[in-house]
Chains A and B, each alone.
Chain A
Amino acid sequence: MKATSDIYQEGNASMVKKRSNLYRKEKIYGFLFILPPVIGFLLFTLYPALYSVYGSFTDWNGLGQMNFIGLDNYKTLFTDNFFYTSMYNTFFLMIGIPIGLLLSLLLALGLNRKIPGTTAFRVIYYVPVISSLAAISILWQWAYNGDYGLVNQFLGLFGIKGPNWLANTATVKPAIILMTIWKGLGFSMLLYLAALQSVSRTYYEAAELDGASGFSMFRHITWPMVKPVTFFLVVTNIIGGSQIFTEINIMTPTGGPEYSSATVVFYIWQKAFENLQMGYASAMAVILGLFIFIVTLIQFKMNERSSFDMD
């Protein structure tokens, strides 16, 4: 994107006419190359998005005609306790994000050393990432099973009687958080590992000569150097975390005991596909979209303020 726009800015009106055939041809080819993703975006993202914005102002039930009802859906939304509950649950589940990032950084630091078997460990941590989310959710559903589950069998070895994890309001959220951390660990770890390996040895050597301790080297060299990766992971994890659905739908198909594991997207799905309230569900989706947009924007602004260049 950047490169092409630079070319446009070079030319002013008088120059455009003088441009060669070759240039024009290249321009057409350029457009052709970017056309497929642009069409994909228009068809599968922008069009449905605009359609659901329109739908959010109607009483559409997903089956019949749409009647315009103005802001009614949005008004209902702000008095809907289930919406608040599902929002709260969604935020609660995001507790796993900082924990997951910390763990994956520690793992990456560990696996970055020259110890035997690192390749095997990298594979072990990466396997969950490439596995199907639905399959993983079913596996964990069984692992958390109160009776025969692996988790409780393991606890039983130490004489601890585990709860029925997914049927208990106090344990269902931690149980899901644990699973999402496990699932995301490998991906974050891999990115951190790549970032760590691109840090030049010279910084550490210089710091060592100055007599810096291991911790201050981490604080003043490693941490700032991997910061772009941390930023990327925080942003993508929050976007992903706001939309968590598959795990919830498979592990707790009714939204958990007292709706304690239902997330926003789960609630949207229920309204749209089970309760014939597509318009209302669209309104929620619009609010969620705006929310994600704003949070991401704030993150970018904050990152700009605290970023630095090393030249």
Chain B
Amino acid sequence: MFGKKSWLIVLASVMMLSLVLAGCGGKGSSDPNQLTFMFRGGPDELKAYTAVVKQFEQDNPGIKVKAIQTNPDQYAAKLQAAITGNSVPDVFFYNPADLKAYTNNNILLDITKYIENKPDVDLKNMWPQGVDMYRYDGTEVGKGALYGLPKDLGPFALGYNKTMFEKAGIPLPDKDKPYTWDEFIKVNQQLTKDTDGDGKLDQFGTGLNAEWTLQPFVWSNGADWLDKTHTKVTIDDPKFIEALQFFVDMQNKYKITPAIEQAQTLDTYQRWMRGELAFFPVAPWDLSTFKRELKFDYDVIPFPAGSTGKPSSWVGSLGIGVSNKTANPELAAKLVTYLSASPSGQKSLVEAGVQIPNLQDMAKKWAADSSNPPANKEEYLQIVNDYGRPLPGQYTYNAEWYALFFTDLQPVLDGKIAVADFLKQEQPKMQAMLDQAVAAENKAKESKKSK
């Protein structure tokens, strides 16, 4: 089909092209008055952030922000593509789990000098738990230089259907004294019933998705996925077994949830919205939707407490970072602080009902304001301040080992595999992946040092 010469031409063109392509990597915006900002969110969040960006432009005349927005599912791939293509936006959201990888590979800019001791940033007023998620000293997360600020903190609390409790004549849960596991089961059993008498259950205690709600049970029982050094998988701990067993029993033994064939997050979320569930997790980003859609009263409480007697939950977060290659580091950092730390930016985001305030004084006012449900918004602040933790996958170089746990979990939830057997089999598999992640991290660190 081709002669020798044609092949040479093809090869030559490919080489030319690679040179051209290598040379044309964009580096955010080169115009000193323009920034590119890439972010993600649900429809309500995108709207709120677009409005705040407009506000930023008005407060800083002459500055233009080019917004690139996507839905949450596509964000990770899009950001990765931007990085690989050498066209990282000036300012972008990133998952704190990627902090180590992004700094080791020189993608994030150290913005400490634009943030600390600046008159327009009151760092002390921000949740330290949030800010510290974006500090990294080259070995440990939580200290050292700042590689971004939190977009928000997402504490996960347990909601309950107040109207249902009142109808059944059951005393409301105490917001300061979490249920024990036994109490939790009992209340749930009282509320799981057939209300219209057709022989089928149509009201349930709860319906929890393991990926997002197993953690509070495991942690409050004194167990965890990882040890303190974040290098060993500890799911074969008896306390872990106990917690997972309890979680599985809610469905299979106590039958306080919709049956296996019926239960998946999507469904239980729908059931909660229709008022068929007594308990369901409620995160801050749910509040605007729930205010609009729920036809019953609800409030939030801590998750039930296991053998430690203390409740537990997780706090999610998303960071706003600056590209290491930005042409306008100072301006980019200004946008970050505007979104994350300025009273005016925070005010509009909180009013849109998509997050809790990053500023502590504003958060206290927000929690005390009783005009918006739920009444016990204070619980969110307690989770942030007192008993919440980041998800385990966030501590490691990648979260593959952690994701594996939930991929393989379904037969356990279905009662087909015994909990103890599963955890014993799963531990070495997860450990092998974690070892790989640790090795990859060390390698990246070395290559950074050698530069």
Contacts and interface: CB of A to CB of B under 8 A. Distances in A.
Contacts of A51: 18
A166 B14 CA distance: 44
A147 interface: yes
A42 B270 contact: no
Contacts of B77: 269, 273
B447 A46 contact: no
Interface in A95-153: 145-148
A157 interface: no
Contacts of B403: 254, 274
A181 interface: no
Given A67-B447, A146-B262, A259 B17 contact: no
Max chain A C-beta neighbours (<10 A), residue from B84, B408, B447: B84
B13 A146 contact: no
Interface stretch (A55-63, A194-202, A235-243, A296-304): A55-63
Contact of B264 (A167, A255, A277): A167
A3 to B, nearest CB: 14
Interface in A36-63: 42-43, 46-47, 50-51, 59, 61-63
Interface string B9-29: 010011001100100000000
Contacts of B104: 64
B285 interface: no
B289 interface: no
Contacts of B352: none
A161 B441 CA distance: 49
A207 B295 CA distance: 72
A253 interface: yes
A253 B18 CA distance: 34
Given A50-B14, A148-B267, A63 B410 contact: no
Contacts, number: 98
A42 B104 CA distance: 33
A257 interface: yes
A222 interface: no
B358 to A, nearest CB: 27
A1 B1 CA distance: 9
Contacts of A255: 407
B264 A164 contact: yes
Interface residues of A, number: 39
B55 interface: no
Interface in B1-54: 1, 10, 13-14, 17-18, 21
B187 interface: no
B406 A254 contact: yes
A253 B261 CA distance: 19
B407 A147 contact: no
A14 B229 CA distance: 79
Interface residues of B, number: 43
Nearest to B17: A47
B410 A274 contact: no
Interface in B88-134: 101-102, 104-107
A273 B411 contact: no
A87 interface: no
B272 to A, nearest CB: 13
Contacts of A276: 101, 397-398, 440
A62 B105 CA distance: 10
Given A46-B14, A274-B398, A64 B261 contact: no
B444 A64 contact: yes
Contacts of A64: 104-106, 444, 447
Given A61-B440, A146-B267, A254 B101 contact: no
B214 to A, nearest CB: 15
Contact of B400 (A47, A258, A274): A274
Max chain B C-beta neighbours (<10 A), residue from A147, A161, A273: A147
Contacts of A5: 1
Contact of B76 (A43, A47, A162, A273): A273
Given A42-B13, A254-B403, A258-B410, A62 B258 contact: no
B83 interface: yes
Contacts of B400: 274-275
A225 interface: no
B407 A254 contact: yes
B174 interface: no
Interface string B409-427: 0110000000000000000
A146 B407 contact: no
Nearest to A1: B1
B266 interface: yes
A275 B270 CA distance: 32
A21 interface: no
B166 interface: no
A278 interface: yes
A164 B259 CA distance: 11
Contacts of B17: 42-43, 47
Interface in A223-263: 253-255, 257-259
B80 interface: yes
A61 B106 CA distance: 13
Nearest to A250: B73
A63 B18 contact: no
B448 to A, nearest CB: 8
Nearest to B20: A43
B443 interface: yes
B73 A146 contact: no
A174 interface: no
A274 B98 CA distance: 10
A63 B85 CA distance: 10
A42 B14 contact: yes
A258 B411 contact: yes
Contacts of A167: 264, 410
A258 B407 contact: yes
19 contacts: A42-B13, A42-B14, A42-B17, A47-B14, A47-B21, A50-B14, A61-B101, A62-B83, A63-B101, A63-B107, A65-B105, A146-B263, A147-B258, A255-B407, A257-B410, A258-B407, A272-B80, A274-B403, A277-B440
Interface of A: 1, 5, 42-43, 46-47, 50-51, 59, 61-65, 67, 145-148, 161-164, 167, 169, 253-255, 257-259, 269, 272-278
Top 4 nearest A-B pairs (CB, nearest first) are A64-B105, A257-B410, A63-B105, A147-B267
Given A42-B14, A167-B264, A274-B398, 7 more contacts: A47-B21, A145-B266, A164-B263, A257-B410, A273-B77, A276-B398, A276-B440
